[in-house]
Chain A
Amino acid sequence: MKPWIKPLFFLLCLSPMGWIVGNALWGDLGANPVETVTFQTGDWALRLLLLTLALSPLRRITGWSGWIRLRRMAGLFVYFYASSHFLIWFLADHALDPVSMWDDVTERPYIALGFSAWLLLAPLAITSTNGWIRRLGRRWKLLHRLVYPILALAVLHYLWLVKADYLLAGIHATLAALLLLWRVPGFGSLRSAWRVQPG
Chain B
Amino acid sequence: MIKIRKASDCREQDVTPEAIYRQRRAFMKGSMLGAGLLLGSSPLQAALNITGYREKVVTVDEEITPFKDATRYNNFYEFGTGKSDPARNAGEFDTSDWKVTVSGECAKPGVLSLEDLIDNKDLEERIYRLRCVEAWSMVIPWIGVPLATLLKRFEPTSKAKYVAFRTLVDPERMPGQKRAVLDWPYREGLRIDEAMHPLTLIAVGMYGKPMPNQNGAPLRLVVPWKYGFKSIKSIVAIEFTEQQPQTTWNMQNPREYGFYSNVNPKVSHPRWSQARERRIGEFFKRKTLMFNGYEDEVASLYAGMDLKKYF
Contact = CB atoms under 8 A, between A and B. Distances in A.
Interface in A65-123: 92-93, 95, 104, 107-110
A124 B273 CA distance: 32
A14 to B, nearest CB: 25
Interface string A9-50: 000000000000000000000111011000000000000000
Contacts of B84: 30
B168 to A, nearest CB: 19
A59 to B, nearest CB: 35
A74 B10 CA distance: 63
Contact of A31 (B83, B179, B271, B284): B83
A142 interface: no
A144 to B, nearest CB: 31
B160 to A, nearest CB: 31
A32 B136 contact: yes
A161 interface: yes
A160 B271 contact: yes
Interface in A150-184: 160-161, 163-165, 167
A30 B273 contact: no
Given A32-B278, A92-B284, A165 B81 contact: yes
A107 B73 contact: no
Given A32-B83, A32-B136, A34-B283, A161 B273 contact: no
Nearest to B71: A31
B77 interface: yes
Interface in B112-149: 134, 136
B15 interface: no
Contact of A107 (B72, B81, B252, B273): B273
Contacts of A31: 68-70, 72-73, 83, 280
